[in-house]
Amino acid sequence: MKQKDKLAVKFLITDFAKARKADSPSIGIICDQLLKTLVPFGMAWSDMAIRNLLSDMVRLLSKLELDKTLTGPAKLRSLDVKKAINGYLGGHSPSRSRYESVVCLGYKFQCSDNRYAGMKDDPEDMLTRCNNLKVAIRSAYGVAGRMDGGAGNTNPKMLKIFMAPEFFFRGKNGAYSHEVVHGREAQPDAKPLALTKVKGIMEVMRDEIDQDIYKDWLFVLGTAIAAAELTESQCQTCGAVGKIKFERDLVKGGGATKAVCVKDPSHVIKEVSLGAIVENVAFVKKEGCIHTISKELVSHIDYRGGKVKVGGTEMGVHKSPQPSGYDSATKVPTKFKDERMGGSIFTVDGVTIGLEVCLDHAATRDSSASGRLEHAANIQIQLIPSAGMEIEALRTVPGGIVFNVDGVTPHVAVVAGAMQAQQVIETTEGKRSFFEDNTGLYFAKPCIGHAGSGAVIGYGPYEIPGV
């Protein structure tokens, strides 16, 4: 979004909300919420963050339309403001949502939890897994076709969500390189040899999922694990506590810099390995829209012996202890607590979706008792690609859809139409969550054993609740 359009939105909302605030107590509440949305909106830079926040503005303005105390020219003005905001959102506006219902198609696949397996060559391993996933997607297309009374694939108002489990893309080294996961552009001027283009996972998968038949499909391609070695310049005399600064390297010349000890420039500096910095990333695609969500936490069961191989060398996975007692993948603090800011929340075609990768469903950096979407509002569908996770909490609006695909005790589970989680209990089959809807209490229904590993299991259709 252009800066001038952002300013126009800010002006529009401020002008309207301030003028209407005192009209009635109920209008006042909504106007305050509208003004509050402008705070993160002012800081938002990614297209997705802006889309999430504009969607929430449209939802508040729709709520206002239903308010009987809003009348006359004030009501007309609110319709105009909504129309203008909708203009920026296009087809992604919640008031123009393309979908009424959703089916959940889970790929029940036994992933390695921390047992690494795969082909000798990582790029080849990745391509093999892509082929495997393409077959699963075609099979899901068949399953969807038999749903909704055989109209699954022809009903344009029914969203189809395909999801594979966490760790789907990882080979025998425990992690791929970033080049295998994300690809590489051609570098004709590289020395000593020109580098050719390398396709990443999403690019390889697009051969299948870009087809017109998947127009109404949303794909979560499990997660992929990418690792790189993390190094730090340290003073050999002062060690890790010593401070380092970077100075222009007069010997090398040009723009080169060198690390120097702050205490004594004659001290010798060495590059020290801090282990592997690991990215566990979920790839999401809906037509032209691609979104990635990285898992924030690292579980102690995620990596075999806490180690992966980077460039053939085995090294410990770098983790950063957090107040919750869990470790995060990086020590870099999260920039925003608000997941709408380009984090685990995304809005496509008027539907707002939250995604928590495995442990992120159960904990955050700050809390061991609540997941990443704990404080989120307006989530209609909640997705959990996982490796050993049960559905424990509903973070959707009442009646929302929660969908988990677990690759360790391979199972596909959906809770839909429930009002809230009631309790989580231990049973002989492990943890089970109870939920409540208007018919009473029921279990989350995990589908274990009804199909083997490699099967696609479909649930639905379920009505997508409005917000």
User: Where on the chain is the footprint of Zn ion (CB under 5 A)?
Assistant: 235, 237-238, 242, 261, 263, 267
Q: How far is the CB of 257 from Zn ion (least distance, A)?
A: 17
Q: How far is the CB of 267 from Zn ion (least distance, A)?
A: 4
Name the residue among 353, 347, 335, 348 with its Cα closest to residue 296: 335
Name the residue among 282, 329, 333, 322 with its Cα closest to residue 306: 329
**Alpha carbon distance 285, 217 (integer Å):** 8
The token pair that represents 13 in the structure block? 């909302």
Name the residue among 404, 390, 419, 389 with its Cα closest to residue 354: 404
Residue 6 or 258 with smaller CB distance to Zn ion? 258
Residue 260 or 277 with smaller CB distance to Zn ion? 260
Question: Given CA atoms 122, 126, 131, 132 in this order, what sign does their dihedral have?
Answer: positive
**Alpha carbon distance 217, 214 (integer Å):** 5
**Alpha carbon distance 321, 326 (integer Å):** 6
Per the document, the length of the chain is 467
Q: How far is the CB of 219 from Zn ion (least distance, A)?
A: 51
Q: How far is the CB of 234 from Zn ion (least distance, A)?
A: 9
Residue 238 or 455 with smaller CB distance to Zn ion? 238
Q: How far is the CB of 252 from Zn ion (least distance, A)?
A: 21
Residue 131 or 257 with smaller CB distance to Zn ion? 257
Are β-strands 381-386 and 320-321 bridged in parallel, bridged antiparallel, or unpaired?
unpaired
Q: How far is the CB of 242 from Zn ion (least distance, A)?
A: 4
User: Cα–Cα distances in Å, from 67 out to 2, 63, 75, 359?
Assistant: 32, 7, 9, 40
Name the residue among 160, 201, 146, 156 with its Cα closest to residue 179: 201
Interacting residues of 377 by C-beta distance below 8 A, sequence separation 6+: 56, 397
Q: Strands of 430-437's sheet, edge to edge?
A: 420-427, 430-437, 440-443
Residue 131 or 236 with smaller CB distance to Zn ion? 236
**Alpha carbon distance 86, 380 (integer Å):** 19
Tell me how far the alpha carbon of residue 266 is from its chain's centroid.
47
Are β-strands 217-235 and 158-163 bridged in parallel, bridged antiparallel, or unpaired?
parallel
Residue 267 or 445 with smaller CB distance to Zn ion? 267
**Alpha carbon distance 329, 445 (integer Å):** 31
Q: How far is the CB of 264 from Zn ion (least distance, A)?
A: 5
Residue 242 or 465 with smaller CB distance to Zn ion? 242
Residue 145 or 242 with smaller CB distance to Zn ion? 242
Q: How far is the CB of 324 from Zn ion (least distance, A)?
A: 35
Q: How far is the CB of 246 from Zn ion (least distance, A)?
A: 14
Q: How far is the CB of 269 from Zn ion (least distance, A)?
A: 8
Residue 209 or 235 with smaller CB distance to Zn ion? 235
**Alpha carbon distance 85, 113 (integer Å):** 45
Residue 211 or 231 with smaller CB distance to Zn ion? 231
Residue 232 or 314 with smaller CB distance to Zn ion? 232
Residue 123 or 242 with smaller CB distance to Zn ion? 242
The C-alpha angle 319, 163, 51, rounded to 5 degrees, equals: 80
User: Cα–Cα distances in Å, from 415 out to 234, 236, 421, 466?
Assistant: 51, 56, 10, 17
Q: How far is the CB of 245 from Zn ion (least distance, A)?
A: 11
Q: How far is the CB of 240 from Zn ion (least distance, A)?
A: 11
